[in-house]
């Protein structure tokens, strides 16, 4: 029996495993980097061990440090979560060699599925359909997909639509794969343009018995990373569903799989054919939707299998489905700026709902640049898919998420779109449209201006009151538009006067406005120059524009600014060279993704301020391009 469990991971997944361990009466141990020391998962654990440093390579990817932490804490088992060392066969072996219980599959199974190239060979032998890589790419094979053999999560993956670009894209994929997984091996296969990503949850006992817990549709992806997941998969013919389950069972049985795992498939709805993509030999990020529709705790099953509980697989297999579950991943990123990750203080994270929230952060948490940008998973369960969509939109719309730009509005836009509601989504959905939902709320800036004015008001004296009024007060906000938004208002003995609005209630945190007979309550949160306004219309983020601009903050024309904090991976041009619009000049890495900075115009690269390895802050001048005459 396991008595003390160390989770070799961080944030949301560590908290998730701790929750089940506590219910089972198992003590918990957290390991954490310096950047993560104040995150909730550390406080939630019964014990915690520091891993000095911040970079994953110095902390969560150090197998020796993690095992030593388990010994220091007196743990008798290790759960790897997902990512980091969760699919590292040598780590699994080292855990077992240290006399600890490894809550995962046998190291041999991890190795067999760890290489996508070898995994395809095993699956083909087991009768599972696979996509055959072209022997020598020709025009008829286009488009092609370059994929990292050792990893996942969209890293080391490139779509190639021109053979002229194949060599370049392979090199880029190899570099990203080597950085993310320590293995730059890639392979090429045909790219199914309008495919659906459907995966099957399995649990094996290591002796050939495999339980299947339905399937999930994870087709809504950006940069080949999942954003929305649901179970059961919509619009899936019963015959296809059964065939997918059987193929997944055969895949797991072929390697005597032990514990929880996921077999991923690419499904072509037009032909009703599917092909094996890969097997994740670990728990998946999206496992909660399976838990909710099947009434099972997958982490509990993982622990039971690791403890050798007899009959757990054969008695737990179920085909019964209860309702529909949908999960969305809330990321600290800006979809309108090519999904640039965001870092800084998450001043507020609150959900006014009883939905399942698996979060790695809380109000006041610092989101660093060292790890994935996912803040939380928001999961709902309802009797029907339509009811689940409606409820999830409501949960997202009423949430208070302040301090950082997130993909919340995009998630609301996706869920409300005709494409998603119809169930006919493919992996190409977000390549066509980013689905940004932004409710127009002219009252939000007005509420912000009033709340700011209330902070300066002296008791008993009308705010900004004048005996002779010759012009209104003006408050200007940055709202993402070029000109910003200006609110003109008057302070009178009878309160505020603003054209088009009646001010029913004015306060520093609560403002009630009425316009054309419709009364709306606004919650206003002010942190420095940032103002977050929440109402039934949704969320509006504003910044108060200063009356005067500091000349020291100005940059010279043509300056290329770092879009986010990160590390310079590569410099692709030299100072003094001629460049063309769109030409790649620098490559930055932040939050496990690489971002290319390109020339904004034709001209001369007059200045380069960084070299490979340089750490840069958001807004820092990386280079200067002088526009051609």
Whether residues 275 and 335 share a domain: the answer is yes
Give per-residue pLDDT as tens, 102-138. Answer: 999 999 999 999 887 889 899 999 999 998 766 666 6
Decide if 118 is inside a domain. no
Kindly state the DSSP code that residue 498 receives in the 8-state scheme: B
Whether residues 180 and 205 share a domain: the answer is no
Q: What is the mean pLDDT of residues 230-234?
A: 97
CA nearest to 11, candidates 362, 298, 340: 362
Which CATH number characterizes residue 266's domain? 3.30.470.20
Whether residues 564 and 518 share a domain: the answer is no
The helix (run of H) or strand (run of E) holding residue 396 is helix 385-398
Decide if 402 is inside a domain. yes
Two tokens at 232? 């059961």
Decide if 288 is inside a domain. yes
Which CATH number characterizes residue 615's domain? 2.40.50.100
Decide if 127 is inside a domain. no
Q: Where are the alpha helices (DSSP H) in 190-309?
A: 238-254, 287-294, 298-307
Torsion of Cα atoms, 143 then 149 then 154 then 160, to 10° = -20
Whether residues 400 and 316 share a domain: the answer is yes
Report the alpha-carbon distance of residue 181 to residue 150 in Å, rounded: 7
Torsion of Cα atoms, 570 then 571 then 572 then 577, to 10° = 180
Give per-residue pLDDT as tens, 66-112. Answer: 999 999 999 999 999 999 999 999 999 999 999 999 999 999 999 99
Which CATH number characterizes residue 47's domain? 3.40.50.20
Decide if 88 is inside a domain. yes
Whether residues 87 and 151 share a domain: the answer is no
Which CATH number characterizes residue 162's domain? 3.30.1490.20
Q: Which residues pair with 382 in a beta bridge?
A: 324
Residue 432 has pLDDT above 80, yes or no: yes
Residue 157 has pLDDT above 60, yes or no: yes
Which CATH number characterizes residue 475's domain? 3.30.700
* Among candidate residues 376, 409, 432, the one where a domain is terminated: 432
Give per-residue pLDDT as tens, 481-521. Answer: 888 999 999 988 888 999 999 999 999 999 999 999 999 99
Whether residues 308 and 401 share a domain: the answer is yes
Kindly state the DSSP code that residue 106 receives in the 8-state scheme: -
Whether residues 259 and 177 share a domain: the answer is no
Decide if 121 is inside a domain. no
The helix (run of H) or strand (run of E) holding residue 510 is strand 510-515
**Residue 504: CA atoms inside 13 Å, Cβ hemisphere, count?**
13
Residue 463 has pLDDT above 80, yes or no: no
Residue appearing with tokens 């127009």: 440
Decide if 126 is inside a domain. no
Q: Which residues pair with 205 in a beta bridge?
A: 258
* Among candidate residues 487, 518, 544, the one where a domain is terminated: 544
Helix orientation angle between 408-416 and 385-398, rounded to the nearest 10 degrees: 150
Whether residues 171 and 254 share a domain: the answer is no
Torsion of Cα atoms, 233 then 239 then 243 then 249, to 10° = 70
Q: What is the mean pLDDT of residues 572-580?
A: 89
The helix (run of H) or strand (run of E) holding residue 389 is helix 385-398
CB 320 within 8 A of CB 296: no
Whether residues 405 and 450 share a domain: the answer is no
Report the alpha-carbon distance of residue 587 to residue 402 in Å, rounded: 29
Whether residues 185 and 202 share a domain: the answer is no
Going through 225-359 in order, the beta strands assigned E by DSSP cover: 225-231, 258-268, 273-280, 324-331, 333-334, 340-341, 344-346, 348-350, 356-359
Residue 16 Cα distances to 222, 282, 295, angstroms = 24, 14, 16
Q: What is the pLDDT of residue 615?
A: 83
Range of the domain at 42: 4-103
Q: How confident is the model at residue 416 (pLDDT cuts 50, 70, 90)?
A: very high
The helix (run of H) or strand (run of E) holding residue 523 is strand 518-527
* Among candidate residues 432, 451, 478, the one where a domain is terminated: 432
Give the list of residues 6+ apart from residue 96 with CB closer than 8 angstroms, or none: 102, 107
Q: Collapsing DSSP states into helix, strand and coil, what is residue 429?
A: helix
Residue 180 has pLDDT above 90, yes or no: no
Strand order in the sheet with 566-571: 593-598, 584-590, 566-571, 615-616
Two tokens at 546? 């200063």
CB 568 within 8 A of CB 586: yes
- Mean pLDDT estimate for the chain: 90
**pLDDT over 90, % of the chain:** 65
The number of distinct structural domains making up the chain is 5
Q: What is the pLDDT of residue 34?
A: 97
Whether residues 608 and 511 share a domain: the answer is no
pTM of the entire predicted model? 0.85
The helix (run of H) or strand (run of E) holding residue 211 is strand 210-222
SS (H, E, C) 544-611: ECCCCCCHHHCCCCCEEECCCCEEEEEECCCCCCEECCCCEEEEEEECCEEEEEECCCCEEEEEECCC
The string of DSSP letters for 159-200 reads: EE--GGGHHHHHHHHHHHHHHHHS---EEEEE--TT-EEEEE
Report the alpha-carbon distance of residue 41 to residue 183 in Å, rounded: 30
Q: What is the pLDDT of residue 153?
A: 63
Decide if 20 is inside a domain. yes
Two tokens at 444? 């939000």
Rg (CA), the chain: 27
Q: What is the pLDDT of residue 310?
A: 85
Whether residues 510 and 590 share a domain: the answer is no
């Amino acid at each position: 029996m396991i008595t003390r469990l160390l989770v070799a991971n961080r944030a949301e997944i560590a908290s998730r495993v701790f929750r089940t361990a506590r219910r089972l009466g198992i003590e918990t141990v957290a390991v954490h980097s310096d950047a993560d020391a104040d995150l909730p998962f550390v406080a939630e654990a019964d014990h915690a061990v520091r891993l000095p440093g911040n970079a994953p390579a110095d902390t969560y990817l150090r197998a020796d440090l993690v095992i030593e932490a388990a010994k220091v804490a007196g743990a008798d088992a290790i759960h790897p979560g997902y990512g980091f060392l969760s699919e590292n066969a040598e780590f699994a072996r080292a855990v077992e060699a240290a006399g600890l219980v490894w809550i995962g599959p046998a190291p041999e199974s991890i190795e067999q599925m760890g290489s996508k190239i070898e995994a395809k060979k095993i699956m083909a032998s087991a009768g599972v359909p696979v996509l055959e890589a072209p022997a020598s790419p020709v025009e008829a094979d286009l488009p092609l997909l370059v994929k990292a053999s050792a990893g996942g999560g969209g890293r080391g993956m490139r779509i190639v639509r021109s053979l002229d670009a194949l060599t370049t894209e392979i090199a880029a994929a190899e570099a990203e794969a080597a950085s993310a997984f320590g293995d730059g091996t890639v392979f090429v296969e045909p790219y199914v343009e309008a495919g659906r990503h459907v995966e099957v949850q399995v649990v094996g006992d290591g002796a050939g018995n495999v339980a299947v817990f339905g399937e999930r549709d994870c087709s809504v992806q950006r940069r080949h990373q999942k954003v929305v997941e649901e179970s059961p998969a919509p619009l899936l013919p019963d015959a296809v569903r059964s065939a997918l389950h059987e193929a997944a069972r055969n895949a797991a049985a072929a390697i005597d799989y032990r514990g929880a795992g996921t077999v991923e498939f690419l499904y072509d709805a037009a032909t009703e054919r599917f092909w094996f993509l890969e097997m994740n030999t670990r728990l998946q990020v999206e496992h909660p939707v399976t838990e909710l529709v099947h009434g099972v705790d997958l982490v509990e099953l993982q622990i039971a299998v690791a403890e050798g509980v007899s009959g757990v697989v054969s008695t737990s297999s179920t085909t019964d489905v209860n309702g529909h579950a949908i999960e969305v991943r809330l990321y600290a990123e800006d979809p309108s700026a090519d999904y640039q990750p965001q870092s800084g203080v998450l001043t507020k994270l609150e959900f006014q709902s009883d939905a399942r929230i698996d979060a790695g952060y809380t109000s006041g948490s610092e989101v660093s640049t060292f790890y994935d940008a996912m803040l939380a998973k928001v999961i709902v369960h309802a009797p029907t898919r339509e009811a689940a969509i409606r409820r999830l939109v409501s949960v997202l719309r009423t949430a208070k998420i302040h301090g950082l730009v997130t993909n919340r509005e995009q998630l609301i836009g996706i869920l409300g779109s005709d494409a998603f509601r119809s169930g006919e989504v493919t992996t190409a959905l977000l390549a066509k449209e980013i689905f940004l939902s932004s409710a127009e709320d002219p009252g939000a800036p007005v509420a912000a201006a009033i709340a700011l004015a209330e902070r300066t008001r002296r008791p008993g004296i009308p705010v900004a009151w004048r005996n002779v009024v010759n012009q209104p007060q003006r408050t200007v906000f940055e709202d993402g538009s070029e000109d910003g938004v200006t609110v003109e208002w008057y302070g009178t003995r009878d309160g505020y006067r603003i054209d088009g609005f009646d001010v029913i209630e004015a306060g520093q945190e609560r403002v009630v406005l009425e316009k054309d007979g419709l009364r709306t309550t606004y919650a206003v949160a002010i942190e420095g120059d940032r103002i977050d306004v929440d109402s039934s219309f949704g969320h509006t983020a504003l910044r108060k524009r200063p009356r005067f601009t500091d000349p020291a903050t100005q940059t010279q024309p043509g300056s290329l600014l770092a879009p986010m904090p990160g590390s310079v991976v590569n410099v692709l041009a030299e100072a003094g060279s001629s460049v063309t619009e769109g030409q790649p000049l620098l490559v930055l890495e932040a939050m496990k993704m690489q971002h290319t900075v390109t020339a904004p115009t034709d001209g001369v690269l007059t200045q380069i301020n960084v070299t490979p390895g340089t750490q840069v802050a958001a807004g820092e001048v990386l280079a200067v391009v002088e526009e051609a005459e």
